[in-house]
Amino acid sequence: MPRRKRVCPRGKVLQILNRAVARLTIFEKPADYDTFVRVIEKTWKLVPLAIFAMVLLPNHWHFVVRPTTDDQVSEFFQRLRVIHTVRYHAHYNTSGTGHLNQGRFKSFQIQSDEHLLIAMRYVELNPVRANFVALFEGWH
């Protein structure tokens, strides 16, 4: 029996994240980030989800989004993950080695405007907290 789609209520702002299996690296080089951004753009053309903030890190990614339908978040991130996984395995010749992501994406509903600002700051400062860069502007 297939899993039911996760309900992410339309009009609510959500923080979405997903990690690689075993926190392995899924973005090995700058071109991997560029490819993922192109996959985001391609996915967005099919499922135009409002994206307020996002960040890609070597082993995971975060988004802050607001869907206009109850199933838009599931549809967007399912497409994004499938396309990215297929491209990743083809590029790195790792087809048949299993999942790339650690299960389904996680989602957290933003409760207030203040919470939205905190979540966006958290997402955008993630590379700074991880000591990848001193300032966010220096990140990809």
Is position 6 within any domain?
Answer: no
| 28 belongs to a structural domain | yes
Hey, what amino acid is at 36? F
Question: What's the domain range around 21?
Answer: 14-138
pLDDT value at position 140? 63
**1 inside domain:** no
Strand 60-66 and strand 14-19: the pairing is: antiparallel
Q: How many domains does the structure of the chain reveal?
A: 1
3-class DSSP state of 57: strand
Kindly report the average pLDDT of the chain as a whole number.
Answer: 90
- Is 89 part of any domain? yes
d(CA 52, CA 21) in angstroms, rounded, equals: 26
Q: Is the pTM of the predicted complex or chain greater than 0.85? A: yes
7, part of any domain: no
Could you tell me if residue 86 is inside a domain?
yes
20: in domain: yes
Within a domain: residue 9?
no
Q: Tell me which of 132 and 109 has the higher pLDDT.
A: 109
Strand partners of residue 63: 16, 54
Query: Which pLDDT tens digit goes with each residue over 41-55?
Result: 999 999 999 999 999
Percent of the chain at pLDDT > 90 equals 68
What CATH number did the domain enclosing 129 receive? 3.30.70.1290
Each residue of 23-40: pLDDT tens digit? 789 999 999 999 999 999
Task: Report residue 45 as tokens.
Answer: 């053309």
Considering only the C-alpha atoms of the chain, give the largest distance between any 2 of them, rounded to a whole number of Å.
Answer: 47
